[in-house]
Structure 1
């Protein structure tokens, strides 16, 4: 069931240390390049990734409407991980205590919570792929040492 919404505005990226997230780890000092990534998102990477994701997601329109209503998309974070030569991300999610928080009147089952959380994770990955494949041409900040063992033999 694809999502039939137009691409919403891309998130505004905040200056958060990615190591503060439970689902991300960046090794070494790095320039997260958020300003440049945010520019790429606004120049079309977000819309392109959203359209590809929306056509293939298991999240339905009702679940996506909840995402929009509680403004989850603005809590995405994307950053450059120069050590791993990749775009990292943090996807927002519905917390485990969603029932106690009464986040949304239509949020009424673990199946919906799981679909939203999985769908946003997939959207984050899609955005990273579009950014890396079509927008970013940065070189990794780190080079492997010359004395690494050769495992090809």
Structure 2
């Protein structure tokens, strides 16, 4: 199924968080508090990674337009967050929790769809993470600590 909607603005990354809060991230033994990589991720999102990933996700998502409208109105896309994991050299993501009372707020969303919406948000986070890792973070660049000597 394809979701035919306008690509929203990318989420604003909110600064260092606990790495253990992100999916696809093993918490490092020591936190560096370095926000430079986080700023690089935000720049990549603005430079096209978000749009590329969103388009890829929208082409295959099971989320319908009414569910997507609810997600946008509740600000859940803005709450997506991404983190560079230096120990595994990958991008983790954190997906907000979809409110259980979504069905009372939106008449066109059934109870069984709340978990589906949560799953589709997680899939969007995973897709963005993969696009960042595969298409935007250059393993031969120094911005993420890669140095070829």
List aligned pairs for 1:34-53, cutoff 5 A: 34-53=38-57
CA separation of 1:68 and 1:103: change in aligned 2, threshold 3 A: farther
* Structure 1 residue aligned with 2:17: 17
My pick for the range that moved more, 70-79 or 31-40, is: 31-40
Q: Is 1:84 the equivalent of 2:88? A: yes
CA separation of 1:103 and 1:17: change in aligned 2, threshold 3 A: farther
* Structure 2 residue aligned with 1:149: none
Q: 2:66 touches 2:108 (CA, 8 Å); kept in 1? A: no
Residue by residue over 1:4-35, the C-alpha shift from the partner in whole angstroms, topping out at 9 and shown as x without a partner, is 11110000100242346275542132435111
Give the superposed CA RMSD: 2.5
Residue by residue over 1:71-97, the C-alpha shift from the partner in whole angstroms, topping out at 9 and shown as x without a partner, is 1100011110010110011011214xx
Counterpart secondary structure, 2:82: strand
Q: TM-score, normalised by structure 2?
A: 0.81
Highest Rg: 1 or 2? 1
Counterpart secondary structure, 1:79: strand
CA separation of 1:110 and 1:16: change in aligned 2, threshold 3 A: farther
CA separation of 1:22 and 1:136: change in aligned 2, threshold 3 A: closer
Q: 1:66 touches 1:107 (CA, 8 Å); kept in 2? A: no
Q: 2:67 touches 2:109 (CA, 8 Å); kept in 1? A: no
Q: Is 1:4 the equivalent of 2:16? A: no
5+ long unaligned stretches in structure 2: none
Residue by residue over 1:88-123, the C-alpha shift from the partner in whole angstroms, topping out at 9 and shown as x without a partner, is 11011214xx22x88733375332211110111000
Q: 2:59 aligns with which of 40, 55, 75?
A: 55
Counterpart secondary structure, 2:78: helix
Q: TM-score, normalised by structure 1?
A: 0.79
